[in-house]
Every structure is written in C-alpha cells, then in structure tokens.
Amino acid sequence: MNTTTPNGNTLNMKTPPIVSPEEWEAARLQLLVKEKELTRARDAMAAERRRMPWLAVDKKYEFDGPNGKASLLDLFDGRRQLVVYRAFFEPGVFGWPDHACRGCSFGADQLGHLSHLNARDTTLVYASRAPQPDIVRLKKRMGWDMPWFTITDSFDSDFGVNEWHGTNVFFRDGDRVFRTYFINNRGDEAMSTTWSYLDATPLGRQEEWEDSPEGYPQTPPYKWWNWHDEYATAAASPDPRWVKVIDNALAT
C-alpha cells in the first residue's frame, strides 16, 4: 500500500491483508490469548518484586523543597511508601535552564493525578540538583504539579542515579526507611502511557528496533523526543545536541 506521511513523503508499506469482520475477530481472539499470557507474566513479576529483600537506609539525606529543608523521611509525607524519580534538570544537562532533560520531561508529561497513588499510602516525588526557584519556574512553564525536591548531598550517587535517570522505591516503618526496588533504562516505560497507546497502533512506536512489516516508517529511538511545547516549532531533523546526548548514552 502506498501512503502519504504528514510531511508529504510517500511510503510503500507492506500492510497486512484486508479481511472480513469474522476473520478480523478471529485474529483478534487468537492474539488475545498471548496478551493474557503477557498480563499474567507481568503480574507474576510484580509478585516477585513484593518478595524482594529490603535494604535498610541508615544514612541521613537532606533535600531542599518548596517548604525548606527536608529529610528522606519527610519525602514520604506521612505515607508508608515512597517512589523517587531522579530527573535531570540542572547545569550541564541539555535544555538547561529552560527545560529539563527531554526524556525526563517525556515521562513527567505522563504522570496521572497523584491522589490515586496517595490513596494507596504511596507518595511520588521528583528529585534533581536544580535549585528550587528553577524547579518552580520549570513546573509552571510545563504545567506540572508533582512534588519536586533538590538533591543536596550524595543521594543520587548512593542510589545509582547520578549519571542516568532511575526510579527508587522505599518503604517506611516508623522512622526506619528501607530501599525495596529500583527501576531504570527501559524499565521506566511501564510508567509511561504513550508507549502503551503507540504499541496498540498499526505503526507502533515507529522506531528502528521494532519488528514491523516492510516499508513501515521508522526512525532512531529516543532521538525524535522533544519538549511538548516545542514539537510544533521543531525542525524536520532531530536537534544535533540531543542526538549527541543519546549517542553518548547508548555508547556507555
């Protein structure tokens, strides 16, 4: 099938066959069997996470927050569970001082209403090394309202997020804090609804690593990302500065 892209290019895509409603429903039900297997596998993985051993966090950490100094214990905000996403927004990061890292911003755009997490005794916060006035300015520009703290000590290096993003999970038992899990790299995709929606579409994520039919549009992964307030004004080709960030990350 020849199809025209929004920018006027013509693609010769080897699309699947066109079938009757009955054949389409039969194919969907066949794939549904595998989708249910995947769901059960995901549930089993979550069950194993709940049985991971815990690591006691005895070191004291201090953050700057919107209301002043805060300890790691304070970040729980009285709840038993804490999820800390290390976002890169600070001097030296591509986008500074106007934006945070494109990937971290991509994730921040997809946060749901945090009251649902709070209802399950769970707090989610972001943490960066940018000063609070810059964080407040960025959140206002991008329309974000998650709690966002400033790292002031070795928290990022101690928890494996000094050079790359990552999500650390903690549990509080009174005044005692335990590290229970850590997710980084593509593991963070589970926190992003964009991937789930794209994976349900015929074109998929449109990235080169995907197994798609011949002729489907595909570009290098990560390099197409942009800040949500700059997609409309972006040039046709990826920003070379962002490409360099991605190439360096993939080389490590």
Contact 108, 96 (CB under 8 A): no
Q: What is the distance between the alpha carbons of residues 205 and 199, in angstroms, rounded to a whole number?
A: 6
13-34 pLDDT, tens per residue?
A: 888 999 999 999 999 999 999 9
Same domain? For 151 and 179 the reply is yes
Same domain? For 30 and 100 the reply is no
Residue 111's domain spans which residues? 55-189
CATH (domain of 72)? 3.40.30.10
What is residue 28's predicted lDDT score, i.e. its pLDDT?
96
Same domain? For 40 and 142 the reply is no
Same domain? For 65 and 162 the reply is yes
What is residue 2's predicted lDDT score, i.e. its pLDDT?
67
Residues of the chain with pLDDT under 70: 1-2, 4-8, 234-236
What is residue 97's predicted lDDT score, i.e. its pLDDT?
97
CA 227 to chain CA centroid, Å, is: 14
What is the tally of structural domains in the chain?
2
Rounded to two decimals, the pTM is 0.86
Same domain? For 42 and 95 the reply is no
113-149 pLDDT, tens per residue?
A: 999 999 999 999 999 999 999 999 999 999 999 999 9
Same domain? For 30 and 134 the reply is no
In a domain, 18, yes or no: no
Which of 98-106's residues contact partners 24+ apart within 8 Å by CB, and which partners?
A: 98/141, 99/138, 99/142, 99/227, 100/128, 100/130, 100/138, 101/165, 101/245, 102/225, 102/226, 102/227, 102/242, 103/165, 103/222, 103/225, 104/165, 105/142, 105/227, 105/228, 106/192, 106/194, 106/225
Boundary of a domain, candidates 37, 52, 67: 52
Same domain? For 78 and 172 the reply is yes
Q: What percent of the chain has pLDDT over 90?
A: 73
